[in-house]
Amino acid sequence: MLNEQIMIDGEFYKNLLDNVHDGIYYVDRDRKIKYWNKVAEELTGYKSSEVLGNYCFDNLLMDIDSEGVDLCKERCPLVEAISDGHPREVELYFHHKDGHRVPVIVRVAPMRDSRGEITGAVEVFTDNSARVAILQRLQDCEKMALLDPLTNLPNRRYIEMNLDSRLDEMHRYGWTFGVLFIDIDHFKKINDRYGHEVGDEVLNMIGKTLLTNLRPFDILGRWGGEELIAIIVNVDEQQLYSTANRFRLLVEHSGLHRGSDIVRATISIGATLSQASDTIDTLLKRADQLMYRSKTSGRNRVSMKLDE
């Protein structure tokens, strides 16, 4: 009867944890993954059958912070919680099975037995993207035929409409904004080596990485080919640079698993704030020139000044 009751209780708690809105997993003291709930599957793309019995230091999710530090090798919150017995909360970015980076808020707590000995740790993670607002905006774009069919991002027409609105606001109220002109480095080489289908997947991976790490009131769209444009509002020059560099780091640490290969890409970015005299053409021309400066300076970088 006791064993039967334990099994019933265990199934009850498993069903309970499978139906919460957060991803949850548990590791023992050796950091072997012992439990992985349904939401963890949805947020990461990995089924429990793919992760149970593996170790978190196998770098499955390849967690990084906003500075690009690999948290599986340094400052791992699970290791720290097991070591000192204190819970902690951090913001980080994990690597989705499909290749893109997802922002999450992670809460870690040590687990103890009846004697108070630490037996492992539980990690709860919550999607930190403004996904609902973004999806609604994309649905609106789709209704208006303003969506790029390959990436499901706003298309050139939508970007031009949004820039026109932002420039009008700037001229009326003095509200400046930032533009990021983003180009995928060596995209032709990716297409030539892996084929255009994988090239399309890389483009989608980068689009998803940037989109899920964008504030709900900012815009990311496909300008054409391998070029993307982001419109970032309510920022000064330093904030715009920080946003651009964060995007660069997240893309650099993303990758598609294709057989034994991991297909990686980097981006070059031109970043500029709008000026009182700007038109759409002058603003985009300046951002494009800055992007080209990043290309000629070695790629995988952000440029903000034309006179450097």
Q: Is residue 156 part of a domain?
A: yes
Whether 90 and 137 share a structural domain: no
Q: What percent of the chain has pLDDT over 70?
A: 90
226 is catalytic: yes
| Residues 71 and 160 grouped into a single domain | no
Residues 66 and 179 in one domain: no
Q: Is residue 308 part of a domain?
A: no
Count of structural domains, the chain: 2
Per-residue pLDDT reduced to its tens digit, 263-302: 999 999 999 999 999 999 999 999 999 999 999 999 999 9
3-state SS track over the chain:
CHHHHHHHHHHHHHHHHHCCCCEEEEEECCCEEEEECHHHHHHHCCCHHHHCCCEHHHCCCCCECCCCCECCCCCCHHHHHHHHCCCEEEEEEEECCCCCEEEEEEEEEEEECCCCCEEEEEEEEEECCCHHHHHHHHHHHHHCCCECCCCCCECHHHHHHHHHHHHHHHHHHCCCEEEEEEEECCHHHHHHHHCHHHHHHHHHHHHHHHHCCCCCCCEEEEEECCEEEEEEECCCHHHHHHHHHHHHHHHHCCCEEECCEEECCCEEEEEEECCCCCCHHHHHHHHHHHHHHHHHCCCCCEECCCCC
Based on the domain organization, do 117 and 137 belong to the same domain?
no
pTM, entire model: 0.78
Q: Does residue 101 share a domain with residue 10?
A: yes
Q: Please check whether residues 279 and 204 belong to one and the same domain.
A: yes
Residue 213: inside a domain? yes
Of the listed 89, 226, 227, 308, which one is catalytic?
A: 226
Do 209 and 290 reside in the same domain of the chain? Answer: yes
Range(s) of the domain holding residue 150: 131-303
Kindly state whether residues 156 and 290 are assigned to the same domain: yes
For the stretch 47-84, pLDDT in tens is 999 999 998 888 778 889 888 888 888 888 989 999 99
